[in-house]
Amino acid sequence: MTLKIRSKTSLYKPDTVIIAGAGPGAVDLMTVRCQRAIVEAEIIVYAGSLVNPEVLKFSSSECEIHDSAEMTLDKMVEVMVAGIRSGKKVLRLHTGDPAMYGAISEQINALAEAGIKVEIIPGVSSVFAAAARIGAELTLPEVTQTVILSRRAGRTPVPERESIPELARHQATMALFLSVAAISDLVAELLEGGYAQTTPVAVVYRATWPDEKVVSGNLADIADRIEQAGIGRQAMILVGNALSRKGALSRLYADEFGHGYRPAGVK
């Protein structure tokens, strides 16, 4: 996959680190802008535990590359600040979209203390990559119009009002990050919150990577299926009746419903 990128203006501004989402895994699911940022970068700090290292092949041979999986926050900030102070183009690469569980606020705050700004390039989050892999619409008319993006508490605590049973009471579609290691406990909490045993669930392990696995089932059987598949990390869990695709038709394309782009009654 090659994209010819011709742009005379640099993406990089003085005293500004670019934070970019590199997408869920497949190299061609990174945005064109993220690819441009990689091409131009002189220092890259990438989240090596989840970002596909293949994306780094777009970097220049002189680019200095650091894997943040081996670094503390202080060390990362030290590298980024030193890079900016020596006039380099510094890129921080996250997996998916940086806004979801990217721990970017602490980086932005620490950089701000050093007088450095950030600019963010969004990416394709694993939630949407996983939905695409299972062919799901997460918002199905008359079933749910809401998606809850959340996680079980782990090393990072979750406020009690956002516990899984509390969120499950909405019966919306839930997209759960960082939770597959405790799938049995998660299922018990979803049931406690009111989902039926028959509620569809899909677990997508490493969506869009070559070793991707998709395991589908319902709340009654998903924990066993996940154990059999040997999935214990790096998976997106999608739960809810929208996955059944049994909802009402949307009004957007209904014959009798007109709008600015199509009058009502036109077949």
Ligand X SMILES: C[S@@+](CC[C@H](N)C(=O)[O-])C[C@H]1O[C@@H](n2cnc3c(N)ncnc32)[C@H](O)[C@@H]1O
Alpha-carbon gap, residue 38 to 18, rounded angstroms = 10
Comparison of 114 and 182: residue with beta carbon closer to ligand X: 182
Comparison of 46 and 143: residue with beta carbon closer to ligand X: 46
Residues 6+ apart with CB under 8 A from 156: none
| Residues 168 and 193 sit within 8 Å (Cβ to Cβ) | yes
DSSP E strands: which ranges in the chain?
16-21, 43-46, 64-67, 90-94, 117-121, 147-151, 173-177, 200-205, 213-218, 235-239
Comparison of 100 and 121: residue with beta carbon closer to ligand X: 100
Comparison of 66 and 206: residue with beta carbon closer to ligand X: 206
Comparison of 168 and 237: residue with beta carbon closer to ligand X: 237
CB of 186 to ligand X, least distance (A): 12
CB of 99 to ligand X, least distance (A): 7
Comparison of 35 and 81: residue with beta carbon closer to ligand X: 35
Burial of 118: CB neighbours in 10 Å, binned 0-12, 13-18, 19+: middle
Residue number closest to ligand X, CB atom: 96
CB of 152 to ligand X, least distance (A): 11
Comparison of 129 and 167: residue with beta carbon closer to ligand X: 129
Alpha-carbon gap, residue 208 to 227, rounded angstroms = 21
Return phi, psi of residue 222, to 5°. Answer: -65, -35
Binding residues for ligand X, rule: CB under 6 A, are 24-25, 50, 94-97, 100-102, 125-126, 129-130, 177-178, 204, 206-209, 234-236
In 3-state terms, what secondary structure has residue 35?
A: helix
CB of 171 to ligand X, least distance (A): 22
Alpha-carbon gap, residue 79 to 90, rounded angstroms = 9
Alpha-carbon gap, residue 212 to 89, rounded angstroms = 33
CB of 238 to ligand X, least distance (A): 10
CB of 182 to ligand X, least distance (A): 12
Residues 6+ apart with CB under 8 A from 158: 150, 151, 152
CB of 76 to ligand X, least distance (A): 15
Nearest to 68 by CA among 59, 80, 55, 58: 80
- Provide the Cα torsion 53, 57, 59, 60; round to 10°: 140
